[in-house]
């Protein structure tokens, strides 16, 4: 109904767009595998029976840039309404807005904006944690200096949504390390590209005169990666990372990123 209203009373453009996207996702021409259905009915049939993961993929597809015409330019409004629906039913997901940035043409004659980040469906553990940790971390990471860290953290959130929990833990720490390297570079703290999480943290703590008791909680993200992440070989025993552990790593990473940034730049 939301897509119908955004499309000025017609749902057909949105369903055709989703059909084209979803057939590539599932790797077959017919989504529902029922004979004789139109593209629109095939899409509706699929969305009413598919897995949660594929339904969320469809939500993500319809709010991205190439679906702009399907929504009559109301992409931001649709994202806001989708989040209302998710919140009302207390569902553990959140749809981010598109992020745009000013862009100067090569000849400096015109200034435009260009897309920095597409809308994404990300996990939301709780409203409080989302508002005090995940969203502040995403806002911080959208600064140009943290672009690589932002991409790594968004990849971790996507891995969590697709139940790749070991990869989620690994990419959380990659983002954390990237943030610490940017902080060190911006503040003139000496560091090497190959420095570990522990060494980077010690550098920042030493330069900002943080008390030693902070080291243990702020090192948790790196410890989880070393013990459970997919960055190192499992050897004879496979590393099984559960959903709640990956969720903890995600939330801890967001909190630690915001804390370290505020601690370093506030000067307190």
Looking at residue 185, which CATH number applies to its domain? 1.20.120
On whether both 131 and 192 belong to a single domain, the answer is yes
Bridge partners of 94, per DSSP, are 122
Which run of H or of E encompasses 155?
A: helix 147-161
Residue 109 domain-assigned?
no
pLDDT of res. 33: 83
pLDDT of res. 109: 67
Residue 129 burial (CB < 10 Å; 0-12/13-18/19+)? middle
On whether both 228 and 135 belong to a single domain, the answer is yes
Residue 139 domain-assigned?
yes
Contacts of 172 by beta carbon, 8 Å cutoff, 6+ apart: 153, 156, 221, 224, 225, 249, 250, 252, 253
On whether both 35 and 131 belong to a single domain, the answer is no
Residue 118 domain-assigned?
no
Taking a C-beta distance cutoff of 8 angstroms, is the pair 160, 247 a contact?
yes
On whether both 47 and 135 belong to a single domain, the answer is no
Structure tokens at 69: 């015409």
pLDDT of res. 238: 57
Of the residues 66, 91, 116, the one at which a domain ends: 91
Whole-angstrom distance, CA of residue 220 vs CA of residue 216: 7
Residues of the chain with pLDDT under 50: none
Residue 107 domain-assigned?
no
The reported pTM is: 0.79
Whole-angstrom distance, CA of residue 10 vs CA of residue 32: 22
On whether both 18 and 84 belong to a single domain, the answer is yes
pLDDT of res. 101: 78
Look at the chain and count its residues.
Answer: 268
Closest CA to 153 of 130, 169, 131: 169
Residue 108 domain-assigned?
no
Residue 120 domain-assigned?
no
Count the domains in the chain.
2
Residue 7 domain-assigned?
yes
Structure tokens at 54: 């594929």
On whether both 133 and 63 belong to a single domain, the answer is no
For 39, the domain range is 1-91
Of the residues 76, 91, 106, the one at which a domain ends: 91
Of the residues 91, 117, 145, the one at which a domain ends: 91
On whether both 194 and 252 belong to a single domain, the answer is yes
Residue reference for tokens 């055709």: 16
On whether both 87 and 201 belong to a single domain, the answer is no
Q: What are phi and psi of 191, to 5 degrees?
A: -155, 165
On whether both 220 and 150 belong to a single domain, the answer is yes
Beta strands (DSSP E) in 11-140 are 93-95, 99-104, 111-117, 121-123
pLDDT of res. 105: 67
Contacts of range 108-115, beta carbons closer than 8 Å, 24 or more positions apart = 115/65
Query: What is residue 95's three-state secondary structure?
Result: strand
On whether both 85 and 172 belong to a single domain, the answer is no
pLDDT of res. 63: 94
Whole-angstrom distance, CA of residue 29 vs CA of residue 258: 45
On whether both 75 and 134 belong to a single domain, the answer is no
On whether both 22 and 73 belong to a single domain, the answer is yes
**How many distinct helices (H) and strands (E) make up the chain?**
13, 4
Taking a C-beta distance cutoff of 8 angstroms, is the pair 22, 61 a contact?
yes
Residue 190 domain-assigned?
yes
């Amino acid at each position: 109904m939301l897509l119908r209203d955004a499309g000025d009373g017609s749902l057909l453009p949105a369903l055709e767009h989703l059909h084209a996207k979803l057939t590539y996702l599932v790797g077959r021409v017919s989504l529902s595998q029922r004979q004789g259905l139109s593209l629109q009915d095939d899409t509706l049939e699929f969305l009413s029976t598919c897995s949660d993961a594929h339904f969320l993929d469809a939500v993500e597809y319809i709010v991205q840039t190439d679906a702009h015409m399907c929504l009559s330019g109301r992409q931001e409004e649709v994202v806001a309404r989708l989040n209302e629906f998710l919140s009302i039913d207390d569902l553990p997901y959140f749809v981010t807005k598109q992020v745009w940035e000013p862009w100067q043409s090569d000849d400096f004659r015109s200034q435009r904006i260009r897309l920095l980040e597409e809308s994404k469906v990300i996990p939301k553990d709780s409203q409080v944690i989302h508002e005090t940790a995940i969203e502040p971390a995403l806002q911080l990471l959208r600064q140009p200096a943290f672009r690589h860290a932002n991409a790594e953290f968004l990849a971790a959130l996507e891995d969590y949504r697709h139940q790749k929990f070991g990869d989620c833990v690994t990419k959380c720490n990659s983002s954390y390390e990237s943030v610490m390297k940017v902080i060190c570079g911006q503040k003139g703290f000496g560091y090497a590209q190959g420095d570990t999480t522990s060494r980077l943290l010690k550098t920042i703590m030493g330069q900002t005169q943080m008390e030693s008791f902070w080291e243990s909680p702020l090192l948790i993200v790196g410890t989880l990666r070393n013990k459970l992440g997919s960055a190192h070989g499992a050897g004879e025993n496979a590393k099984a990372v559960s959903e709640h552990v990956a969720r903890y790593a995600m939330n801890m990473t967001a909190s630690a990123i915001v804390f370290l940034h505020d601690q370093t730049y506030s000067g307190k």
